[in-house]
Amino acid sequence: MYNPISCEFFDQLNVAMQRKIPSTIVYFKDENLEEKLTIKGLVATMEVIDGIEFLVLNTKEKIRLDLVITFNGKK
């Protein structure tokens, strides 16, 4: 089940996207919340697919926003 993100987190993503800030994202691979992954890149855009919000990096990697643990070191 998808849990919407906070407005504060959304604002952080927008700033990173607009200013092209290189970002480090730690997130869960899937809803099982077992395996953590770390990726680095630029936030290209955000999109909604079937009511679920995703962060899209310049590498075309899509990360489900409610599975993000830290974004540039912030929870």
Alpha helices in 1-75 (DSSP H): 7-19
Give me the chain's average pLDDT, please: 94
> What is the percent of the chain with per-residue pLDDT over 90, rounded to a whole number?
88
Give domain status of residue 58, yes or no: yes
pTM above 0.75, yes or no: yes
Residue 46 lies in a domain: yes
Query: Domain range for residue 42?
Result: 7-71
pLDDT at 67: 96
In a domain, 41, yes or no: yes
Q: Is residue 48 part of a domain?
A: yes
Residue 21 lies in a domain: yes
pLDDT at 2: 83
Quick check: is 1 in a domain? no
Q: Give how many domains the chain has, as a whole number.
A: 1
Q: What CATH number did the domain enclosing 33 receive?
A: 2.30.30
Quick check: 75 and 69 in contact, CB under 8 A?
yes
CA distance 19 to 12: 11
Place of tokens 């970002």: 23
75 residues of the chain, pLDDT tens digit each = 888 889 999 999 999 999 999 999 999 999 999 999 999 999 999 999 999 999 999 999 999 999 999 999 998
